[in-house]
C-alpha cells in the first residue's frame, strides 16, 4: 500500500482546515475502512469514493477489488490540483480501466452507477452528500464528525435522537463502527471523527409520499420541546399542511401528548399518513 505521508509529499500539498481538507494518514485506519464494506458481503465491483484527496484510501479500495473480474473505483475530487495529482499517481490504474477520477463537486456531478461507497467525506457538506447517496440504496461506509455520527445512529428518547436519526434510518440500518482520533489526520481536525456503516433496507412502515414524510419529520423536530399537538399547529408553513387543526383533531391523544424526541420512526410515518389523509398539502419550506 502507498504510504499516506509519501502521497502528501509527492502531491506537494498541505491540508487546509479552511477548505475542509484533513488528510487521513493513519495506516491502520486506512486498512480497516474497506473491511467494513467487505465484511457484509457487499458488492464491491464498483466502489465510489467521495473526496479522494491524495489517494491513500483510493489505494486501499483498488486493492479490495478483483483485477481479473474488472472491479473498479471511481473517485470524485473537487480540488483541481488534487484531481490532477490522482491522475498522475494512479496513471497505470486509470490506463487499465480500474480507476476513474471525476473532477468536480460531489453535490453537482453525475454520479456513476456504483455498487458501494467508502469515503472520508468533507465534513462541511457531509449531510448533503449522505442524503444524495442514501436514496441510491447502496451500502455506504462514511466518515463524519463524531457528534454527527452519533445523531445518525441514535434511538428515540436519547439526547442525540432527532431529525437526522429518523431520516437516516428511513433508508438504512445505521451502525457506528469505529471512532477515529484527531491524530489520525493531517492536519488534525478540531473534533473526533467516526465511521458509520449504512446498509440499505426498506423501512418497516409504509408511507405514501416520501417527500412529505421527511418534511413532516423536519417540521416537528424544529419544535422538539413542544408537544406534537403544538408542533403540528406551529409548523404548517414547514410541513406544508393546509389544515393542521384537522390533523390534531384526527390524531390519537396519546400521540399528541408526546414530543418529537420520543416518537419512533414508525409513529412519525403513521402520523404523516393520517395528516396527508385529512389535510391538503403544499410544498412547505
Give pTM, 2 decimals: 0.94
CA distance 28 to 112: 29
Question: Are residues 98 and 72 in contact, defined by beta-carbon separation less than 8 angstroms?
Answer: yes
Beta bridge partners of 194: 144, 179
Q: What is the pLDDT of residue 17?
A: 83
Residue 154: which residues within 8 A CB-CB, separation 6 or more? 160, 161, 162, 165
Which pLDDT score, from 0 to 100, does residue 65 have? 80
Quick one: pLDDT at residue 70? 79
Spatial distance between the Cα atoms of 229 and 87, rounded to a whole number of angstroms: 56
**Which of helix, strand or coil describes residue 118?**
strand
- Other CB atoms within a 10 A radius of the CB of residue 94 amount to 15
pLDDT of residue 6: 97
What pLDDT score does 68 carry? 72
Which pLDDT score is estimated for 283? Answer: 83
> What is the mean pLDDT, run by run of 10 residues, along the chain of 285 residues?
96 86 95 96 96 97 84 96 98 97 97 97 93 97 97 97 97 98 94 97 94 97 97 96 97 97 97 96 81
What pLDDT, on the 0 to 100 scale, is given for residue 21?
86
- Give Cβ neighbours of residue 6 (< 8 Å, ≥ 6 apart): none
> In the prediction, which pLDDT does 171 show?
97
Q: Are 76 and 49 in contact (CB under 8 A)?
A: yes
Q: Please report the sign of the dihedral spanned by the C-alpha atoms of residue 185, residue 57, residue 19, residue 80.
A: positive
pLDDT of residue 50: 97
| In contact, 57 and 33? CB cutoff 8 Å | yes
* C-alpha closest to that of 176 among 151, 204, 196: 196
Strand ranges, E, within 121-163:
140-145
Q: What is the pLDDT of residue 20?
A: 80
Amino acid at each position: 500500500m502507498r504510504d499516506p505521508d509519501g502521497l502528501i509529499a509527492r502531491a506537494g500539498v498541505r491540508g487546509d482546515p479552511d477548505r475542509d481538507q484533513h488528510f487521513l494518514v493513519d495506516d491502520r485506519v486506512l486498512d480497516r475502512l474497506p473491511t467494513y464494506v467487505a465484511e457484509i458481503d457487499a458488492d464491491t465491483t464498483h466502489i465510489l469514493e467521495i473526496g479522494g484527496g491524495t489517494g491513500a484510501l483510493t489505494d486501499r479500495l483498488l486493492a479490495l477489488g478483483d483485477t481479473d473480474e474488472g472491479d473498479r473505483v471511481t473517485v470524485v475530487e473537487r480540488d483541481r490540483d488534487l484531481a490532477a495529482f490522482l491522475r498522475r499517481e494512479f496513471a497505470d490504474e486509470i490506463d487499465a480501466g480500474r480507476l476513474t477520477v471525476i473532477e468536480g463537486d460531489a453535490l453537482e456531478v453525475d454520479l456513476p452507477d456504483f455498487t458501494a461507497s467508502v469515503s472520508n467525506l468533507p465534513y462541511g457538506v457531509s449531510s448533503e452528500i449522505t442524503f444524495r447517496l442514501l436514496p441510491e440504496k447502496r451500502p455506504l461506509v462514511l466518515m463524519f464528525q463524531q457528534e454527527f455520527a452519533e445523531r445518525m445512529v441514535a434511538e428515540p428518547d436519547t439526547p442525540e435522537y432527532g431529525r437526522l436519526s429518523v431520516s437516516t434510518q428511513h433508508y438504512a440500518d445505521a451502525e457506528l463502527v469505529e471512532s477515529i482520533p484527531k491524530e489520525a489526520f493531517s492536519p488534525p481536525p478540531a473534533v473526533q471523527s467516526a465511521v458509520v456503516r449504512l446498509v440499505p433496507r426498506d423501512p418497516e412502515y409504509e408511507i405514501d409520499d416520501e417527500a412529505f414524510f421527511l418534511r413532516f419529520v423536519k417540521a416537528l423536530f424544529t419544535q422538539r420541546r413542544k408537544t406534537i399537538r403544538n408542533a403540528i399547529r406551529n409548523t404548517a408553513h414547514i410541513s406544508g399542511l393546509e389544515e393542521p387543526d384537522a390533523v390534531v383533531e384526527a390524531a390519537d391523544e396519546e400521540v399528541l401528548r408526546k414530543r418529537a424526541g420520543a416518537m419512533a420512526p414508525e409513529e412519525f410515518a403513521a402520523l404523516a399518513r393520517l395528516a396527508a389523509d385529512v389535510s391538503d398539502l403544499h410544498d412547505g419550506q
